[in-house]
Structure 1
Amino acid sequence: MLPELHPGHAEALLFDWDGTLVDSQYANYRAMADVLAPHGVTLQQEWFDARTGLSSADLIRTLAKEGGAGPDLPVEELVAARDVLFLANADRIEVHPEVAEVVHAHHGTLPMAVASGGARLIIETTMRHLPYQGLFTALVTRDEVRRGKPAPDIFLRAADALAVPPARCLVYEDSDEGIEAARAAGMAVIDVRPVTRRAP
């Protein structure tokens, strides 16, 4: 295990999904861009990549708010269509091996949860194709909380599901919104980007 990913004295580990446990960035971007295009919206990947911590619905609303799309986009319909496109390619998603090593090293010794701004159906379906089945005690998604990241709700709910105080949890994240959410929850956090985006 890479030393910069070692959990130290944490009593529970919380993992973001997209970009942290799995390399799904381009697949997520492509699915979102493809559903927005018929509405006359061109989604720039650089803009999308800078907001990876947002849920699909929040991302579309942010795009409209910032003037990149009209305010009358059918958000829920677009999210559903995006999910269908993404799921069609779920078997192509791969793990980030450096983070997967952390999961496998601590399975059975520390309680672990996936705490994601993504949708439960998407994560559960994608997980079936990956070596993560049965390794997590809990899965908490945007579907189960009132506020998504950067609010702390998802992480606080995951800590509650693991019955571990927030201050004793460690979060693995790959987005600014996720890191802000972890800190707002009173949790330590490791930014995995220096590892997962390291040039081969």
Structure 2
Amino acid sequence: MTLNFPPGEFDAYIFDCDGTLIDSMPLHLDAWRAALAKHGFPTESFTYKMHHAFAGMPGPAIVRALNEQFGMDMPPLAVEADKLAWYLNHHHNIKGIEPVVEFAKSQKNLKPMAVASGSDAEIVKSGLEALGILDLFQTVITPVDVPHGKPAPDMFLLAASRLGVSPGRCLVFEDGHLGVEAAKAAGMPYVFIPTPESEF
């Protein structure tokens, strides 16, 4: 994979986590399917493409969207808790997305960096710790930190604020459609990390 950087110099870098720094999207898909099945959702209906379309959205919001789309009444917080528990029980073998991880490592002590992820804080921090890269980042933003998740710009704007850098001087690394929309809404250029379902 080659990272395609936009032109210009940047003062800070903000990374999505799952599918950008960590190759964890297949594991997240399995976790969602296990949790949804426990609540009576037909797991074959939760496809990879659907999962990727939700990338960056907080878990309870995903459940609410599925309830609306499929006419169900699953409890969002309970499904999210079941998904979190399943993921944490199976996440020991995750791997990094090497070009992105290596770039982040190359910028240690050179530029301030943050992670802004729609995943649960425990999932994000445990994944970064498992790869030995948590200490690269000055701050980690998750849905509990902001009023609105991606595609709203809140996460990226908060990350920029915490790093002390104006939004237009931050470069975002993202694999999700919603994350790209959030970066655009924040006025931040971005590097798109392709996945099998990418349609950009």
TM over 0.5: yes
C-alpha contact 1:5 1:192 (8 A) present in aligned 2: no
For structure 2, the 5+ residue unaligned runs are: none
Q: Which residue of 2 aligns with 1:116?
A: 117
C-alpha contact 1:90 1:129 (8 A) present in aligned 2: no
Partner amino acid, structure 2, of 1:92: N
Partner amino acid, structure 2, of 1:137: Q
Partner amino acid, structure 2, of 1:150: P
C-alpha contact 2:4 2:192 (8 A) present in aligned 1: no
Q: How far apart, in 2, do the equivalents of 1:16 and 1:5 lie?
A: 16
Q: In the TM superposition, what is the alpha-carbon distance from 1:6 to its structure 2 partner?
A: 7.6
Q: In the TM superposition, what is the alpha-carbon distance from 1:150 to its structure 2 partner?
A: 0.2
Q: How far apart, in 2, do the equivalents of 1:107 and 1:59 lie?
A: 34
Q: In the TM superposition, what is the alpha-carbon distance from 1:171 to its structure 2 partner?
A: 0.2
Q: How far apart, in 1, do the equivalents of 2:3 and 2:62 lie?
A: 33
Answer with 185-194 or 79-88: which moved more: 185-194
Q: Which residue of 1 aligns with 2:57?
A: 54
Q: Which residue of 2 aligns with 1:38?
A: 38
Q: Per-residue CA shift, 1:77-126, capped at 9, x if unaligned? A: 11011101101122111100010111011111000000111111111122
Q: Give the TM-score, by structure 2 length.
A: 0.91
Aligned residue pairs: how many?
195
Q: Give the TM-score, by structure 1 length.
A: 0.91
Evaluate the alpha carbon distance shift between residue 6 and residue 185 of structure 1 in structure 2; reply closer, same or farther with a 3 A threshold: closer
Q: Please, which of 65, 69, 87 is the counterpart of residue 66 of structure 1?
A: 69
Taking every aligned residue pair, what percent have the same amino acid on both sides? 35
Q: Which residue of 1 aligns with 2:164?
A: 163
What is the correspondence of 1:167-178 to structure 2 with a 5 Å cutoff?
Answer: 167-178=168-179
CA RMSD of aligned residues (A): 2.0
Partner amino acid, structure 1, of 2:64: R
Q: In the TM superposition, what is the alpha-carbon distance from 1:50 to its structure 2 partner?
A: 2.4
Q: How far apart, in 2, do the equivalents of 1:41 and 1:14 lie?
A: 35
What is the correspondence of 1:1-200 to structure 2 with a 5 Å cutoff?
Answer: 2=2, 4-5=4-5, 8-42=8-42, 43-67=46-70, 69-70=71-72, 72-193=73-194
